Structure 1
Amino acid sequence: MRIRILADGDEESLADLQSWLSTDPGTSRLGVATVAGHGPTMGALEALDIVLGHAVDIGNFALAYVSWRSVRRDEGAGPADGAAGGRKLVHGDSTVDIGHLSSEELADLLRRLNSSGATGTDE
C-alpha cells in the first residue's frame, strides 16, 4: 500500500518526519520517497510517498508517526495537536487529517484503507 503525507506548506516538518522515519528501528526500511513541487514551488518538498508492505509496517509507521508528532509538540515545533505539516494522509481518492489520531486509531485507519483497495495506490 502506498500512502502520501502532505507538507501543506511546511517543508521543515516533512523533512523532520522523513528523518525520524529513517532512524526509527521499526520504519527505517520502509520505502520513503520525496515528492517535489512543480511550477512556482519547483523543488520544494511537497509530500512523502511511503510504501507499507504488510501489517507490521502499518503498526510500526503508526507508532513512529505518533511518537514524532508528540516529540514535535513537546518541543514546541507545532500547534498543540502536532506539527502543521505532515498532518494530511492521502491514499487513492481519500485525504484524511491524521494529526489528532492515536497510534491505534492511525493503524486501524491504515488497515481499513489497505483493505478498501483505493485505486491507483496499492502495491
Structure 2
Amino acid sequence: MQESRLSIGVADPEDSTDLRDFYRWLDNEEEPPGTVRLASEPVAGSMSGGLDVIDVVLTHAVGLANLTVAYATWRKARRSRAALTFTRASDGLTVTVREGSEEAVQQLLRAFSEPGRPEDG
C-alpha cells in the first residue's frame, strides 16, 4: 500500500471539542491507524487562526480498517452528535459521517479503499 493521507474535520465548527476528543482517542489507540496529529487549517479571511483538523497518514493496509473501527468505537463510547468529514488529500474525496453505525463504517471503508490520484511530490 502506498502512503495515504486523510484529514478529519468537523462539519460544524461548534463541534471542535468532539474533534479534539476523537484525536485524543486515536492518539491513545493501542494499534494506531498510522501517524496521527492535530493541525490547524487556515480559514479564508480570518485573522484569528483556523479550524482544527486531524491529519492521519496511513502507511499500511490495515490502517484504514483500524481508523474506521476506532471511529465507530469512539462514537459508541462518547455518543457524540458531531458530523465528521474525512477527506483524502490525493484527490479531495470527502465523506461526511454523522453516526458510528456499521453502515457508516462500511461507507468509509468502501469510499477510501479505492485508490485516489497519487499525491504530488
Question: In angstroms, what is the RMSD of aligned CA positions?
Answer: 2.6
Using a 3 Å threshold, how does the CA distance of structure 1 residues 28 and 107 change in structure 2: closer, same or farther? closer
Q: 2:64 aligns with which of 58, 80, 84?
A: 58
SS at match of 1:26: coil
Aligned residue in 1 for 2:73:
67
Q: Equivalents in 2 of 1:52, 1:26: separation in Å?
A: 12
SS at match of 2:55: strand
Aligned residue in 2 for 1:35:
40
Q: Equivalents in 2 of 1:6, 1:16: separation in Å?
A: 12
Aligned residue in 1 for 2:92:
93
Unaligned runs of 5+ in 2: none
Q: 1:110 aligns with which of 100, 112, 121?
A: 112
Aligned residue in 2 for 1:5:
8
Contact 1:34 1:49 in 2 (8 A): yes
Q: Equivalents in 2 of 1:55, 1:66: separation in Å?
A: 18
Q: Equivalents in 1 of 2:34, 2:95: separation in Å?
A: 24
Q: How does 1:38-49 map to 2 (within 5 A)?
A: 38=43, 39-40=45-46, 42-49=48-55
- More helix, by proportion: 1
Q: Equivalents in 1 of 2:8, 2:34: separation in Å?
A: 17
TM-score, scaled relative to structure 2: 0.72
1:59, CA displacement in angstroms?
A: 1.1
1:98, CA displacement in angstroms?
A: 2.3
Q: Equivalents in 1 of 2:8, 2:47: separation in Å?
A: 17
1:44, CA displacement in angstroms?
A: 4.6
- More strand, by proportion: 2
Unaligned runs of 5+ in 1: none
Count of residues paired in the alignment: 110
Deviations 1:7-42, CA, capped at 9 Å, x for gaps: 330210111011000111121752324124345363
